[in-house]
Amino acid sequence: MLIFVDGDSKNMIPAACKDSVAIFFMFDLTSRRTLYSVINWHQQARNYNQTAMLVMVGSKFDEFVQLPLDLQWTIASEARAYAKALNATLFFSSASYNINVNKIFKFVTAKLFDIPWTLKRNLTVGEPIIDF
């Protein structure tokens, strides 16, 4: 498993991507700049691994819900469009409040090991998005 976050970890990308079964692209829901970085991270990752499951994780949902509703809607729409373009599952999460953290890892585990587990989509702006 490989997790991309905003920062300089380019030296580790080839080795980390090579045998990964899942790649997480983490971005900050309160910083659109990190969302825009996902496309670049995806291009880099796919140079080394064409088959890993892709998961986009928007962090800091607890801070995101404090933003104006129109900005939340814009960010949610952009994140959903990116996830669709990358064929990735999208989760909005908060580690501070354990929002969707367990669901993310249960989802990946269920998919990788073909374990029956039902996950419900949530596309309601203002709530933690889950889109697949």
Domain range annotation of the chain: 2-131
- What CATH number does domain 2-131 carry, 3.90.420.10, 3.40.50.300, 3.40.50.1970, 3.60.21.10? 3.40.50.300
pLDDT tens sequence across 82-93: 999 999 999 999
Report the Cα 99 to chain-centroid distance in Å. 13
If you search the block for the tokens 């090579």, which residue do you land on? 18
* Cβ 130 vs Cβ 121: under 8 Å: yes
pTM of the model: 0.89
pLDDT at 7 over 60: no
Measured CA to CA, the distance from residue 132 to residue 116 in angstroms comes to 16
pLDDT at 28 over 60: yes
